[in-house]
Amino acid sequence: KQEVTQIPAALSVPEGENLVLNCSFTDSAIYNLQWFRQDPGKGLTSLLLIQSSQREQTSGRLNASLDKSSGRSTLYIAASQPGDSATYLCAVYPGGFKTIFGAGTRLFVKA
């Protein structure tokens, strides 16, 4: 059974710091991995989608990597800003239709 774990559950950093959020999954047979951002009271916003054949994806200050063999993905945020404060969720798509979500990492960037 596929399980997705995100560590840490919460993180507080000063503005300007580079940071890494971690995601691990138990079954390497996935089609893709997706990182989402969720602001309080809002829906999930897709940040990056990494296909199983890819190693990483970049969007602005965000870089996500995928290592299927070790069952790990990282989301790197460069030069963090207070506006980056949100919950970040990792989700894997093992095929079929059921995307498996992690519990998320709550990030707080202090000004």
Select from 1, 60, 97, 111 the one that contacts another protein (CB under 8 A): 97
Q: Does 2 bind another protein (CB under 8 A)?
A: no
Q: Which of 21, 23, 68, 104 binds another protein (CB under 8 A)?
A: 104
Rounded to the nearest 10°, the torsion over CA 63, 74, 94, 40 is -80
Cα 43 from Cα 47, distance rounded (Å) = 13
8 binds another protein (CB under 8 A): no
Strand 86-93, strand 105-110: pairing: antiparallel
* Residue numbers at the binding site for another protein (CB under 8 A): 31-32, 34, 36, 41-46, 49, 51, 89, 91, 93, 95, 97-99, 101, 103-104
